[in-house]
Each structure stands twice: as C-alpha cells, then as structure tokens.
Amino acid sequence: MTIRSTRKPVTFSAPFRLTGFEELLSAGTYVVETDEEVLEGQAHTGFRRIATTMRIRTGATIEHHQIDPRELEAALQRDQDAARDKLISADQLSRQSRRSDNSPPADWRWVPLWVRNTPSHRRS
C-alpha cells in the first residue's frame, strides 16, 4: 500500500473552535497534513483519504491532532464570512462619514456631466 502525504497552510483571522479541542484555537496559520492511500486501477489511479491532521504548537512542542476535513472547511468558511462582513460594515461606515447631504450618490454609474457652451467663433 502506497501512501501520499500533502501539507497545506490554512490561516484563520479570528479564534475558532474545532471538535476535540476544549478551548478556542487562536487566530494564525496552521499546517494541515492529509494522508491518502493510492488505489490503482487498470485505467485510472485514485486516492482515498485515510487521515487529516493539524499541527498545533503548544509552547515548545508541536502536536498533531486528527481532525475532520469537512469541519475544518466549515470553520474556514465561517472565518472568511466574518472577515468579509467586518470589512463591508467598516467600508459602509466610512462611506457614511464621508458623505454629506449635497454629495452625489455613491452609485458607480453616476457620472457628473459638465457642459460649457462656448461659440466656435465670435461674431462682432
């Protein structure tokens, strides 16, 4: 049986929770390792996931904890959604503070049109 191991970094911008951990995990970058066994067929080669682990640094040691990859993906999605919502609300607040009652609408299609009528030649 041949096993393929892959590593990828995942980054969280806020503390998060996964099953199997009593406390919140802090924001930061973690290394996720996936082990897959090779399934060789006559026409195709496939891979079946057999383990997914995440490296957690605790003091001077690094621990490998087995995790559910679907739960990790869901936690990453929640983190990205929260970061996007935070960014959108901050952008809306800054727009409201900059906008005055006489300012033009913030719609991107609104373009001021300035026309100056000047004759092409002057008549005396």
Please report, in tens digits, the pLDDT of each residue of the chain (124 residues total): 788 999 999 999 999 999 888 889 999 999 999 999 988 887 888 889 999 999 998 888 999 999 999 999 999 999 999 888 877 776 666 666 555 555 555 555 655 566 666 666 665 5
Residue 65 in domain: yes
* Contacts (Cβ under 8 Å, ≥6 apart) of 19: 67, 68, 71
| DSSP 8-state symbol, 59 | T
How many structural domains does the chain have? 1
Residue 8 in domain: yes
Residue 104 in domain: no
Residue 116 in domain: no
Domain that holds residue 71: 3-91
Q: Whole-prediction pTM value?
A: 0.65
Residue 96 in domain: no
